[in-house]
Structure 1
Amino acid sequence: MEVQGKIKLIGETQTFGNNGFRKREVVVTTEEQYPQHLMIEFVQDKTELLNNYNVGQPVKISINLRGREWTNPQGEVKYFNSIQGWRIESLQSEAANNEMPPVAPIEAFEPVDTLNEEEHDDLPF
């Protein structure tokens, strides 16, 4: 799955536990009729992917939805969801790559002087 939007916030890398589990969160605001502010977490070595991005930058993030079950000490079962990112791309460079090169105005071309209307061509009209 993918999410597109502008970066609203990039958190610092957090480290948890004795094993050094790392997590970094980014908030992306979607650009639709009802914008959503989605918190996406990057974990372990993926936390470094956010180093080259800034607040306000339009991005596309590849995500996985994660869900887990937890039973509290009272025996109640709870469910939690998270959105985990594994790739991030700038949409600015993608838009620039898809742009057509500029076309010269019609005045930049010289008119044809040697047009032979009797010469056969393969045009259907």
Structure 2
Amino acid sequence: MEIKGRVHEVHRTQQISESFKKRDLIIAYAENPQFVEYISFQATQDRVSIFDNLRVGDEVQVAFNLRGRPWTNKDGVTTFFNSLVAWRVTKLEAQRPAQQTAPSYADLPPMDISSADDDDLPF
């Protein structure tokens, strides 16, 4: 799955245990600009570095997997939780209008000088 948005927060890497680390990224997703959604993505283990070059305000496209797991508490009640695990983040270039350049001589239309009167010179 992929989604485009603007970087809202880039968290530091957290060392959860000796063998597990994670890092969070919050994206402002504005499919409808009146109702911005803040979506939390997670990178784990060696993928935590994919958030290194991101800055708040960057426009990005995030490729991710949706994961869901059950958890049963000590009373036997099972709840479910989801996580969005990012595996690639691509910065998007700002869309800039094409620059207008001055026309070159090759762009000018040909002129018909066969009917020019040689006696009408201004000097």
Question: Aligned AA for 1:27?
Answer: I
> 1:6 maps to which residue?
6
Q: Distance in 1 between matches of 2:10 and 2:83?
A: 17
Please report how far the alpha carbon of residue 103 of structure 1 lies from its aligned counterpart in structure 2 after TM superposition. 5.3
DSSP-derived class of the 1:92 partner: coil
Please report how far the alpha carbon of residue 69 of structure 1 lies from its aligned counterpart in structure 2 after TM superposition. 0.7
- Structure having the higher helix fraction is 1
Work out which of the two has the higher radius of gyration on C-alpha atoms and give 1 or 2. Answer: 2
Is 1:110 the counterpart of 2:108? The answer is yes
DSSP-derived class of the 1:29 partner: strand
Flag structure 2 segments of 5+ consecutive residues without an equivalent: 113-123
Flag structure 1 segments of 5+ consecutive residues without an equivalent: 115-125
> 1:69 maps to which residue?
70
| Percent identity (aligned) | 28
Question: Aligned AA for 2:27?
Answer: V
Question: Aligned AA for 1:14?
Answer: Q
Q: Distance in 1 between matches of 2:37 and 2:101?
A: 42
Please report how far the alpha carbon of residue 9 of structure 1 lies from its aligned counterpart in structure 2 after TM superposition. 0.4
* Greater shift in the superposed pair: 30-39 or 82-91: 30-39
The alignment of Structure 1 onto Structure 2 pairs a total of residues equal to 109
Please report how far the alpha carbon of residue 110 of structure 1 lies from its aligned counterpart in structure 2 after TM superposition. 2.7
